[in-house]
Amino acid sequence: MRFLCVLLLIAGAAIGIFYPWAMSNFSGHAIGTYRVYEGGRFRPVTVQLAASDAPVRVLVDLTARAERVAGQQRTVLTLTAAHGGRTVLASALSFNHTDNPRQASPQLPDKIFRDEAGVIDRVTPGPYLFTVEPGDADGIDMRAVDLILRAGTGSIDERAQPAGYTLMGVGLAGLALSLVFGRRGGGPKNPNSQPPPPRWGRNGSPRA
């Protein structure tokens, strides 16, 4: 019972957590990383994209001197991507899912938080203008913001996370029940599990 529950927990974590993270960060190949904020100033960047790059996943790394940057569902950054004067992607970034930020440097307290802005499914060859701007969240000591583009990324099945979390919930519930019932002894003991006492001799029962 416990072994099955542990397997459900592992499978749920793999489907609901590891699979989306791996698809977002490692599928496809990198187009490039572009610094869009530094020294207190935001600046747009223009990137030449080819049709073969599609789909293009757009990620944003925020370097800040903080343990967490998400709060009260506020928007930390906004991002827009435009091609030929037409907006092809618009996203509000809150970094709500960044529970384990990366350490920027062992010598610095800065942390790197990552959020996904979205996916450009179809690419018309030519220049794409990416603009990152501050949101309505205050009190964030931003040091740098980087735009990361990945080409040929696989799409994440929207059913994966709910299914993974469901498996994890079932596994946790089953594990908790097995622990509770295990403490109660698990039923009567087998009378044959212990050898019978000697009927005579030293330390034995008296002879009739």
For the domain that residue 122 is a member of, what is the CATH number? 2.60.120
Q: What is the mean pLDDT of the chain?
A: 81
The verdict on whether omega for the bond into residue 127 sits within 30 degrees of 0, i.e. cis, is no
Same domain, 43 and 56: yes
Residue 192 lies in a domain: no
Q: What is the pLDDT of residue 162?
A: 77
- Name the pTM for this structure: 0.64
Same domain, 79 and 122: yes
pLDDT of 206 strictly over 60? no
Same domain, 38 and 124: yes
Same domain, 23 and 35: no
pLDDT band at residue 165 using 50, 70 and 90 as cut-offs: confident
Q: What is the pLDDT of residue 61?
A: 96
Residue 199 lies in a domain: no
Q: Tell me the average pLDDT across 182-193.
A: 58
Same domain, 14 and 84: no
Same domain, 91 and 139: yes
Domain that holds residue 144: 30-151
Q: Number of structural domains, the chain? A: 2
Quickly tell me which residue has 């802005």 as its tokens. 117
Same domain, 103 and 167: no
Same domain, 136 and 166: no
Residues 61-118 pLDDT 10s: 999 988 777 655 689 999 999 999 999 999 999 987 766 788 888 888 899 999 999 9
